[in-house]
């Protein structure tokens, strides 16, 4: 695979180096409590002067990060500017402070790159948190009976097919530096785990033992990988070096463990297990020790956990009656759950505010984005050629 799948254009580096300082005015920091989901109001803004794809991109980026578009008389911030095909100019006026908190011009790259960069700066100028406009996703896409791994910008644009195994490839997970993906594939008629360098196209076998080798997840420092292996009989949680060596078995329940993920400090691994009958969430020290249950008060089935990058929440999937799947969050120490949306396969964005998950639309699996505090959902506008699921956001 060529470097085109991951390169950051030199223009972007120059743009960033030129200074993305967001003005001298003191920034407004908006505190977000993810356990007060749906009770936080979106930030009212108005957009002026933008047109075409730039306007559509800004609306998408800002909507999924907690902004709503209102008449100027009701706006807390006015976001104004222009785009002419080779540059984007933009400013943010704070009606409370009666001052501009951002005023920049962006040149030297594609229009989508410039618009995403401006959107990021708007988010940071207003909320104090970095935007997600330049992040990417990996996901599983169906091709008839087969599934392959694809990569795209977080909004679904610039999609690239990574694997051509003509079998089942699934479970993509990024390395922290964004240069490689881990996934498992049946290309040799058995579920084996691979690491795939996106710059060189080289992929290497991480785990190929008798039985299942699935669900890889890379540690926050990139040095270790946890996965589900059945080499000892039952599907258990194992951890090893990033290349698959130095394996250590963490669970020995003789029950089906699944979907391991790391705590952001690298000390814990959260996973789903049927150790107590129904499928529930557990955590275990990454260096070995006793597993402990994470209480999810309000649901008895909990699968597919993902720990937020800021460490404050674990998102997971639960199945209700009638085969309905729901996205929920719970504190890492356990407690009351909060239902966020109907869907499955949740993954956190780097901002610990935004989620992507799989939903159903007219019998088709589609990828949707959820702003957790406001509970507002957007389905990716890109028209994919097949069903998509199992999204994984860059770290």
For the chain, domains (ranges, CATH) are 3-127 (3.40.50), 137-393 (2.120.10.30)
Pairing of strands 192-197, 203-207: antiparallel
pLDDT digits (tens, 9 = 90+) for 284-302: 999 999 999 999 999 989 9
Lowest mean pLDDT among 25-34, 221-230, 376-385: 25-34
Instruction: Give CA–CA dist 361/367, Å, rounded.
Output: 10
pLDDT for res 364: 87
Confidence of residue 85 (pLDDT cuts 50, 70, 90): confident
Confidence of residue 31 (pLDDT cuts 50, 70, 90): very low
Average pLDDT of the chain, as a whole number: 89
Q: What is the mean pLDDT of residues 160-167?
A: 96
pLDDT for res 22: 30
Max CA separation in the chain (angstroms): 66
Would you say residue 307 has pLDDT above 50?
yes
Instruction: Give CA–CA dist 65/46, Å, rounded.
Output: 15
Instruction: Give CA–CA dist 155/270, Å, rounded.
Output: 28
Would you say residue 88 has pLDDT above 90?
yes
Structure tokens of 329? 């969050």
Would you say residue 4 has pLDDT above 50?
no
DSSP structural state of residue 322: G
Determine phi and psi for 56, rounding to 5 degrees: -60, -40
Structure tokens of 341? 């949306």
Lowest mean pLDDT among 41-45, 253-257, 379-383: 379-383
Contact of 113 with 104, CB cutoff 8 Å: no
Structure tokens of 58? 């800004």
pTM value? Answer: 0.88
Contact of 207 with 192, CB cutoff 8 Å: yes
């Amino acid at each position: 695979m060529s470097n085109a799948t991951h390169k950051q254009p030199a223009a972007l580096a120059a743009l960033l180096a030129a200074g993305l300082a967001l003005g001298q005015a003191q920034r407004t920091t908006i505190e977000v409590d993810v356990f007060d989901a749906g009770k936080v109001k979106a930030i009212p803004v108005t957009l002026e002067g933008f047109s075409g794809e730039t306007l559509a991109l800004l609306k998408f980026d800002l909507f999924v990060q907690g902004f709503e578009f209102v008449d100027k008389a009701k706006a807390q911030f006015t976001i104004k500017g222009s785009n002419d095909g080779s540059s984007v100019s933009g400013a943010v006026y704070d009606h409370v402070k009666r001052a501009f908190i951002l005023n920049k011009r962006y040149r030297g790259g594609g229009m989508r790159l410039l618009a995403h960069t401006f959107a990021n700066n708007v988010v940071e100028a207003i909320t104090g948190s970095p935007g997600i406009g330049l992040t990417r996703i990996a996901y599983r896409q169906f091709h008839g009976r087969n599934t392959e791994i694809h990569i795209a910008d977080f909004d679904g644009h610039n999609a690239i097919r990574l694997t051509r195994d003509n079998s089942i490839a699934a479970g993509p997970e990024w390395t922290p530096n964004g240069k490689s993906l881990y996934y498992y594939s049946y290309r040799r008629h058995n579920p084996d785990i691979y690491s795939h360098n996106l710059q060189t196209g080289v992929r290497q076998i991480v785990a190929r033992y008798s039985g299942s080798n699935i669900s890889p997840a890379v540690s926050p420092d990139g040095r270790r990988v946890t996965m589900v292996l059945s080499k000892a009989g039952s599907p258990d949680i194992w951890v090893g070096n990033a290349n698959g060596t130095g394996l250590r078995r963490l669970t020995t329940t003789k029950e089906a463990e699944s979907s391991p993920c790391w705590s952001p400090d690298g000390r814990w691994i959260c996973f789903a297990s049927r150790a107590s009958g129904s499928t529930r969430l557990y955590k275990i020290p990454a260096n070995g020790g006793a597993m402990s249950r994470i209480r999810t008060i309000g649901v008895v089935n909990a699968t597919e956990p993902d720990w937020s990058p800021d460490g404050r929440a674990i998102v997971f999937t639960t199945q209700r009656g009638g085969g309905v799947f729901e996205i929920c969050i719970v504190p890492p120490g356990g407690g009351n759950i909060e239902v966020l949306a109907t869907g499955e396969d949740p993954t956190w964005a780097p901002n610990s505010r935004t989620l992507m998950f799989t939903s159903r639309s007219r019998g088709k699996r589609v990828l949707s984005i959820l702003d957790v505090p406001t509970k507002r959902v957007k389905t990716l506008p890109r028209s994919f050629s097949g069903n998509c699921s199992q999204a994984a956001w860059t770290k």
